[in-house]
């Protein structure tokens, strides 16, 4: 039996989740709760299931068993959480368009933000919205900055970030840490992220969990 807590208290609830890919068993009974306004990180080795867990919370991958709730809403087939900003895998930007054009195309789906707001978001992450440079010519750090802009541009209440600091320079890591800290502390955005390196998220995340042998353990 799943016990539901108040929507105002729990942002993410993972209850008795099972997931396997043929003989590769990731989870047999995974349980995890995350409160609204928290900034949490999950660390672990490659193949431990970090990315799969985030994809299940985004509704992109279905668990084999158990239940997942986001803001009190149960995720079922064809149902995705609302008001969520996401970075998963490599962002699929159009290489022959500018950063602003890419964001404009994505923003056109929900039509929640104006062009001026998109420009402000690009400046916030350290990109020039007036630049004519195509995304295909962006450095890895610039692409990651654009991915962050895409995730936060509609001012979501929940950010789900898979390895946001992976393979980028230390200045960009520092900038991202500062930005995410402000979003969490000043605007109350709930943040769940994964990382290979605990030092990248130390001091930013109040709670850190290690995923190992199908279990999430507080660090």
How does the average pLDDT of the chain come out, rounded? 90
SS3 193: strand
> Which region holds residue 196: left if phi is over 0, alpha if psi is between -120 and 50, else beta?
alpha
Q: What pTM value is reported for the model?
A: 0.90
Q: What contacts 89, CB < 8 A, 6 or more positions away?
A: 51, 162
Contact predicate 142/150, CB 8 Å: no
Contact predicate 40/201, CB 8 Å: no
Check residue 8 and give its pLDDT. 52
**Alpha carbon distance 133, 216 (integer Å):** 42
**Alpha carbon distance 157, 102 (integer Å):** 22
Task: Provide the percentage of residues in the chain whose pLDDT is more than 90.
Answer: 71
| 1 pLDDT more than 80 | no
- pLDDT confidence of 209, banded at 50, 70, 90? very high
| 204 pLDDT more than 70 | yes
């Amino acid at each position: 039996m799943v016990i539901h807590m108040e929507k105002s208290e729990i942002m993410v609830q993972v209850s008795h989740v099972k997931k396997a890919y043929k003989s590769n068993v990731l989870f047999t009974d995974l349980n995890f709760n995350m409160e609204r306004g928290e900034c949490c990180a999950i660390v672990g080795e490659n193949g431990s299931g970090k990315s799969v867990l985030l994809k299940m919370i985004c509704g992109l991958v279905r668990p084999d068993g158990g239940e997942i709730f986001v803001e009190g809403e149960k995720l079922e087939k064809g149902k995705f959480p609302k008001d969520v900003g996401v970075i998963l895998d490599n962002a699929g930007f159009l290489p022959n368009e500018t950063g602003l054009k890419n964001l404009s195309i994505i923003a056109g789906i929900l039509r929640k933000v104006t062009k001026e707001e998109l420009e402000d978001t690009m400046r916030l992450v350290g990109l020039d919205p007036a630049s004519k440079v195509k995304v295909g010519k962006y450095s890895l750090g610039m692409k990651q900055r654009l991915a962050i802009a895409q995730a936060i541009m509609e001012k979501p209440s929940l950010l789900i970030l898979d390895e946001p600091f992976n393979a980028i320079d230390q200045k960009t890591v520092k900038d991202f840490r500062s930005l995410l800290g402000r979003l969490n502390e000043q605007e109350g955005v709930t943040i769940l992220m994964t990382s290979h390196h605990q030092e990248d998220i130390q001091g930013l995340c109040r709670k850190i969990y290690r995923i190992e042998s199908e279990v999430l353990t507080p660090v």
